[in-house]
């Protein structure tokens, strides 16, 4: 491995043990997180993680995403897990550091924003990326404020049946209770529903499903692939929806977001949505939702023109 510190190498090796322990066929980025919490002795990473999250709680959540199939002796890494380690190397290089340590791995997990971060958020770990970055690397910030953000320009078009496998992967990487394939199909067959995908480099990197009412568009499902987040993909999809609204004289976009889904709340707030009410015990009587709404005002927006 060479480019990692001895401690980081240990954490990576033990991520495989965490996967094996949970009988997972794949090593997910959540197994890297488990290994970091358990094995890391780097003081800063330890303070950030061990003081805030409890290993057994993360283990229990990770067990749910581990596929519980008979693992091979050398379990393969998921794309998100591989990207986490690649991102960690990239961050090390960007900062002019060497070799790549456990702090860079934690920063990699945050940038990829996959299952590990979802689990941390579900457990109430609500620190912003920039805060964590400052804690890890001193005065330098994650760069979202300092020009690092790498935007990608996506092509947005109608969703077709052939997109379903890719959409479904994004769905299962994004939600604890993902829609089933038949939920998508049922929805898309509805007369008032539409689906759109964002495509980059011939890959589907985001999707949105909405139902159209007379005066509003209700977003039923919306997600961006974990390795394409914070690159403005979501913003471009919302901009398309706003364009559609304008073209069709609808005046509102609405959606429901889980109380614990802080990133989505911040995202929609940034896109001009406001929380207008709380729907108590909306999700299986266990969790509240915020009803968020975007009200169209006389902004100048490009008319909606999906490409097919
Ligand atoms: C919410 C989601 C769609 C955002 O998509 P995205 O492509 O990453 O969003 P963008 O890059 O366009 O972000 C625009 C702005 O929103 C805010 N934002 C987005 N993600 C954020 C996060 N994780 N934490 C804090 N703010 C965030 C930021 O202000 C961001 O601007 P910046 O990157 O310059 O700081 C994406 O995180 C996702 O798919 N989440 C899982 C699925 C989900 O929760 N869907 C919504 C269900 S209601």
Q: What percent of the chain has pLDDT over 90?
A: 43
Is the Cα dihedral 164, 294, 156, 90 positive or negative? negative
* Dist. CA 272 → ligand 1 center (Å): 13
As a whole number of angstroms, the distance between CA 82 and CA 74 comes to 14
Atom number of ligand 1 nearest to Cα 257: 48
Quote the number of domains for the chain: 2
149 in contact with ligand 1, CB cutoff 6 A: yes
Which residue is associated with the tokens 């067959």? 189
Q: Is residue 130 domain-shared with residue 167, that is, in the same domain?
A: no
Across 45-54, 115-124, 260-269, the highest mean pLDDT is recorded for: 260-269
In a domain, 308, yes or no: no
- Look at residue 153 and give its three-state secondary structure: coil
Rounded to an integer, the average pLDDT of 45-71 is 82
CATH code of residue 226: 3.40.630.30
Q: Is residue 132 domain-shared with residue 159, that is, in the same domain?
A: no
In a domain, 110, yes or no: yes
- C-alpha 290: how far from chain center: 19
Q: Is residue 283 domain-shared with residue 171, that is, in the same domain?
A: yes
As a whole number of angstroms, the distance between CA 153 and CA 271 comes to 17
pLDDT, tens only, 180-226: 988 998 888 888 999 999 999 899 999 999 999 988 999 999 999 99
Could you list the residue range(s) of the whole structural domain that residue 284 is in? 155-295
Residue 115 has pLDDT above 80, yes or no: yes
Q: How confident is the model at residue 293 (pLDDT cuts 50, 70, 90)?
A: very high
Atom number of ligand 1 nearest to Cα 113: 23
In a domain, 278, yes or no: yes
Q: Is residue 96 domain-shared with residue 198, that is, in the same domain?
A: no
As a whole number of angstroms, the distance between CA 240 and CA 156 comes to 8
Q: Is residue 10 domain-shared with residue 101, that is, in the same domain?
A: yes
In a domain, 58, yes or no: yes
Choose between 115 and 249: higher pLDDT.
Answer: 115
Antiparallel, parallel or unpaired: β 287-295 and 274-283? antiparallel
As a whole number of angstroms, the distance between CA 149 and CA 201 comes to 19
Q: Is residue 33 domain-shared with residue 123, that is, in the same domain?
A: yes
CATH code of residue 98: 1.10.1780.10
Given this model, what pLDDT does residue 299 score? 46
Residue 68 has pLDDT above 90, yes or no: no
In a domain, 1, yes or no: no
Given this model, what pLDDT does residue 19 score? 92
Nearest protein CA to atom 21 of ligand 1, as residue:
263
pLDDT, tens only, 149-170: 567 889 999 999 899 999 999 9
């Amino acid at each position: 491995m060479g480019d990692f510190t001895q401690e980081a190498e240990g954490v990576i090796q033990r991520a495989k043990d965490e996967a094996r322990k949970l009988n997972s066929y794949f090593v997910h980025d959540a197994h890297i997180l488990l290994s970091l919490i358990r094995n890391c002795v780097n003081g800063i990473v330890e303070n950030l993680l061990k003081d805030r999250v409890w290993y057994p709680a993360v283990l229990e959540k990770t067990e749910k995403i581990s596929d519980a199939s008979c693992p091979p002796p050398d379990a393969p890494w998921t794309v998100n897990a591989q990207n986490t380690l690649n991102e960690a190397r990239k961050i090390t290089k960007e900062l002019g550091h060497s070799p790549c340590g456990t702090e860079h791995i934690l920063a990699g997990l945050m940038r990829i924003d996959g299952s590990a971060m979802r689990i941390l958020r579900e457990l109430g770990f609500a620190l912003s990326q920039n805060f964590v970055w400052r804690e890890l690397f001193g005065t330098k910030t994650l760069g979202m404020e300092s020009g690092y953000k790498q935007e990608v320009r996506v092509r947005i078009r109608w969703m077709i049946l052939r997109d379903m496998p890719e959409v479904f992967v994004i769905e299962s990487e994004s939600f604890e209770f993902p829609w089933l394939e038949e939920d998508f199909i049922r929805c898309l067959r509805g007369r008032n529903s539409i689906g759109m995908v964002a495509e980059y480099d011939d890959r589907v990197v985001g999707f949105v499903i909405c139902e159209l009412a007379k005066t509003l568009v209700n977003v039923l499902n919306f997600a961006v692939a974990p390795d394409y987040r914070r690159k403005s993909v979501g913003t471009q999809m919302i901009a398309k929806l706003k364009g559609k609204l304008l073209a069709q004289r609808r005046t509102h976009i609405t959606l429901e977001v889980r109380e614990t889904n802080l990133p989505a709340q911040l995202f929609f707030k940034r896109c001009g949505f406001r929380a207008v009410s709380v729907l108590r015990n909306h999700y299986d009587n266990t969790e509240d939702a915020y009803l968020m709404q975007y009200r169209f005002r006389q902004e100048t927006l490009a008319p909606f023109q999906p490409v097919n």
